[in-house]
Structure 1
Amino acid sequence: REREKDRVPQAATCDYSNGEWVPHNQEPLYNGTTCDTIKQGQNCMVFGRPDKDYLHWKWNPKNCTLPRFNPRKFLDLVKNRHVAFVGDSLARNQLESLLCMVSVSSKPDLLYTGGEDNKFRKWHVSSHNITFSIYWSPFLVKGVEKTIGKDYNTLHLESVDERWAADLDHIDMLVLSIGHWYLHPAIYYYGSSIIGCHFCKNHTETGFYDVFGKALNTTFDSIIKRKGSNNSNHGNGIRVFLTTFSPAHFEGQWDKLGACPKTRPFKQGERVLDGVEEELRRIGVAGVAEANRRCGNSENDLRFEALDVSKLAVLRPDGHPGPYMNPFPFANGVPERVQNDCVHWCLPGPIDTWNEILLDVIKRWNR
């Protein structure tokens, strides 16, 4: 019988980040009318997006095969578990994609909703006794978001955000997704001391790369302490995924026609990951590797994995709602101001591939 410790490395045998988008003729598992968990601003088909080519591309890793998402298989593998997504609005985007995909087999029932704009929600799939939840936590650590009158965030890098971490005892699988909120102006605390800031006055400018790494380390350390085998009370393990940074594709002003006008993926080499996007990806992947090193002697099911999607995402400028974040934006002609979303992803759309990779990693872990 294959030993547990021999199974873990197989999750990394496929480099999902190295490949290309290729045309394919299959229709998505769901659409804008068959799934009711799609956030309205990402329901591109229902909101009148006229082109459909963006739905017919498949990610083809260079050295391995990425199977089409199998809803029943996913549900079987996470049966009797609580799967939680934690992070910013892209975490929500990915979860809503997953809920739509599994609903082809079994429809999730909404159990709870709370917070502004339904930022905290919980669903249950009764056929497999699975709970899915979303926790709004754009920094993962404790923070106060900017508001009107205070145009900067405040982060406390030594403390994990208990709005989600307090529930770790009841979570079996965790998908983390952050990044974009770290680009905003912020003041950074460690304990009671200000250690720097980004785009602010009266404090030392430190940028956000080191801060991003510190926040991930605080998050991973907290998970290891609370879920690792050294914790005699709650050390029942957890599987943790970090979805790497998903680049935006603004080409012009966000409120003008043509902010993200592409209707096809970039070809390999036409657009590469670089600058801020590449550095945030690198920090995330390195943080996951370090977390695995720190919990390497854990005797329970405690694992970390990077869903390394940044290179896939940067090649898909065609997958965003753009002006179709609002219904039929050109029904009365082209207005002077056109609000565009070139950050989030249409559902269905490229982000469904993130969940195909998620399923494939889980399958490899269970071989």
Structure 2
Amino acid sequence: MGENTQELADHGLCSHPRKLLSCSLFALFTLSLIYFIFYSSPSSFASYADLFDQFKTQRATKNTSLPPPLAWLQCDYSDGKWVWDDSVTGPRYDSENCDMKSTEKCVVNGKPDKGYLHWRWQPAGCNLTALDPAGFLRLVRGKRLAFVGDSTARNQAEALVCYLSTVARPETAHRYEERLGRKFWRWVFPAPHGVSVSTYWSPLLVRAEGHSEDYAMTQEAVVLDALTEPWTADADAMDVVVVSAGHWFPRPAMYYEDGEVVGVYSRPDLNKTDIGYLGPYRKVLRRTLEYISANSTGDTLVAVATIAPGHFDPGRSWNHRDACSRTKPYEAVEAEVAAADAEMRKVVLEEVAAAAAAAGRRRRGVRFEALDVTRLATLRPDGHPGPYLFAHAYDRRPVPETVANDCLHWCAPGLVDTFNDILAKMIVAGG
């Protein structure tokens, strides 16, 4: 969910006062957008027009050297290019009757350009075939799949369930919704499959408290040593775990550990040491992986997704109808991974490698992999819903110049299916 700016006391990416303010505003906008896109009425977007103008230049900082992935010796799926696939005749699946957020249903919602459905990710040194739904259900027969984190985890899970629904109809076994949306969802593909897919809403993976009623202002107390339920309660019953969280970390926060304040991020109103958010992100991710490793009771695959950035046009306001109207992927020379995204990606790669090494030493049946999607997602500004958030909202009439946009999440079907194609290869590689 979104672009990120970040700061570590020892890196100084946002340590300068001016950069600190800019980073803070950008993080605030991202969280506000996430909330209002998924949980509010279209009219709620209007109050954020002025705020967005302050972060249009945030993604100008580029990263010139991405480290290689620390997993996937068989094939580096993170490096490649998008190629046009003439064999594609239409969407992989019909999302109209799928159990997913309506804002992801770009075809149903009338997004006029369908080209985004025809691009295929071609890794540099191998081929990535599309997930076969029938074959996938055979592969994971009797297993429990869990997607833990923010709305990017939900986005990916819903796309997978929708695709699998083309060969077997799932039952919705559990729903837990609040004003803020789907907190816990579980689909079950009954016999002969015996497969369940669950989503666990936990955007910071740990407990966080304190926000305004409408989530327009968030200055949360983040408890770094308190992992959240219900995902922790089910950790011993997960066979495949996708952890996708990160977009909620670049926000004003006060961090607690062992009942004490250990630092803040972007809280100049407090006389506390600003430690940035990258360190807390690393600490939370490490504890999450350690917890899963310690509580797993069998062979478990843990895939940690790297950040997948959004694509707001820096030359337009966020609520302009053309905020993300590009209809083709970027060429490699047109877009580099932003430095902030590269830093968060690096954290994931390092922590996954460390968790894998520790699991190997302890001879535990847990396999850790990085679902490294940062580069391939960076190149796809065409893959977002944009203003097409509601069914047939603009049939036979033009899109208003000022409109709510989602340039953060992914159309389904669309690019998000590539995430699941890679996940399937990870599962196959583990036998």
Q: Same fold (TM over 0.5)?
A: yes
User: Which segment drifts farther, 293-302 or 64-73?
Assistant: 293-302
| Structure 1 match to 2:182 | 118
In the aligned structure 1, how far is the partner of 2:193 from the partner of 2:344?
36
Cα distance between partner residues in 1 of 2:143 and 2:92: 23
Equivalences, count: 350
Q: Distance in 2 between matches of 1:338 and 1:87?
A: 28
**1:292 aligned to 326, 332, 356, which one?**
356
Helix, strand or coil at the partner of 2:281: helix
* Correspondence 1:158-237 to 2 at 5 A: 158-200=225-267, 201-202=269-270, 203-227=272-296, 235-237=297-299
Q: Which TM-score applies when normalising by structure 2?
A: 0.78
Matching residue of 1:156: 223
- Pairwise CA distance, 1:270: 1.0
Cα RMSD after superposing both structures: 1.8
SS of residue in 2 equivalent to 1:321: coil
Q: Which of 52, 60, 79 is 1:18 aligned to?
A: 79
Query: Deviations 1:317-360 (Å, cap 9, x if unpaired)?
Result: 00000101234454554435300001100011101000000001
Residues 25-60 of structure 1, C-alpha deviations (whole Å, 9 max, x = no match): 213320233x41231011111111111101100000
Pairwise CA distance, 1:290? 0.6
Q: Give CA-to-partner distance per residue, 1:298-333, whole Å, 9 cap, x none.
A: 434211000100000000000000101234454554
Q: 1:325 aligns with which of 386, 389, 392?
A: 389
Q: Retained in 2: the 8 A contact 1:221–1:291?
A: yes
Instruction: Say whether the 8 Å CA contact 2:319–2:402 is kept in structure 1.
Output: yes
SS at match of 1:21: strand
* Maintained 8 Å contact 1:322/1:341: yes
Partner Cα distance (1:52, 1:334) in 2:
17
2:106 corresponding residue in structure 1: 44
Matched ranges for 1:84-163 at <5 A: 84-116=146-178, 117-126=181-190, 127-144=192-209, 146-148=211-213, 151-163=218-230
Structure 1 residue identity aligned to 2:230: R
Structure 1: runs of 5+ lacking an equivalent: 1-8, 228-234
Name the CA distance, whole Å, in 1 between partners of 2:312 and 2:421.
Answer: 26
1:301 and 2:370 correspond:
no
- The residue type equivalent to 1:156 in the other structure is V
Structure 2 counterpart of 1:28: 91
1:348 pairs with 413, 417, 420, which one? 413
Are the structure 2 counterparts of residues 323 and 145 from structure 1 closer, same or farther at C-alpha, using a change threshold of 3 Å?
Answer: farther
Write out per-residue CA displacement over residues 114-150 of structure 1, whole angstroms, 9 at most, x where no aligned residue: 0322221111001310111100000112223633386
C-alpha distance in structure 1 between counterparts of 2:276 and 2:182, whole Å: 31
Supply the distance in 2 between the matched residues of 1:72 and 1:298 (Cα, whole angstroms).
35
Aligned residue for 1:3? none
Cα contact 1:11–1:365 (8 A) shared by 2: no
The Cα of 1:175 is off from its aligned counterpart by 0.5
Q: Which amino acid letter does the alignment assign opposite residue 155 of structure 1?
A: V
Partners of 1:334 and 1:45 lie apart in 2 by: 16
Q: 1:218 aligns to what SS in structure 2?
A: helix
Instruction: Give the TM-score taking structure 1 as reference length.
Output: 0.91
Give the 3 Å change call, closer, same or farther, for CA 167–253 of structure 1 in structure 2.
same
Q: Provide the secondary structure at the position in 1 that maps to 2:343.
A: helix
- Partner Cα separation in structure 1 for residue 189 and residue 361 of structure 2: 34
For 2:73 and 2:420, the matched residues in 1 are separated by 16
Q: Residue type of the partner of 2:255?
A: Y
One-letter code aligned to 1:96: E
Contact 1:141 / 1:218 at 8 angstroms: preserved in 2? no
| % identity of equivalent residues | 38
d(CA) in 2 for partners of 1:105 and 1:166? Answer: 31
Which amino acid counterpart does residue 307 of structure 1 have in structure 2? L
User: How far apart, CA to CA, are the structure 1 residues paired with 2:382 and 2:360?
Assistant: 40
Cα distance in 2 between the residues matched to 1:141 and 1:286: 20
2:333 aligned partner, one-letter code: G
Would the alpha carbon gap of residues 145 and 362 (structure 1) be closer, same or farther in structure 2, given more than 3 Å must change? farther
Alignment check: 8 A CA contact 1:29 1:104 kept: no
Please say if residues 11 and 364 of structure 1, whose CA atoms lie closer than 8 Å, have aligned partners that are also in contact: no
CA offset at residue 363 of structure 1? 1.1
- Residues 306, 345 of structure 2: 8 Å contact kept: yes
Post-superposition shift, 1:189?
0.9
CA distance in 2, matches of 1:124, 1:135: 15
Runs of 4+ in 1 over 6 A off after TM superposition: none
Higher mean alpha-carbon deviation, 283-292 vs 182-191, is at 182-191
SS of equivalent to 1:37: coil
Aligned residue identity for 1:85: F
Alignment partner of 1:246: what SS? coil
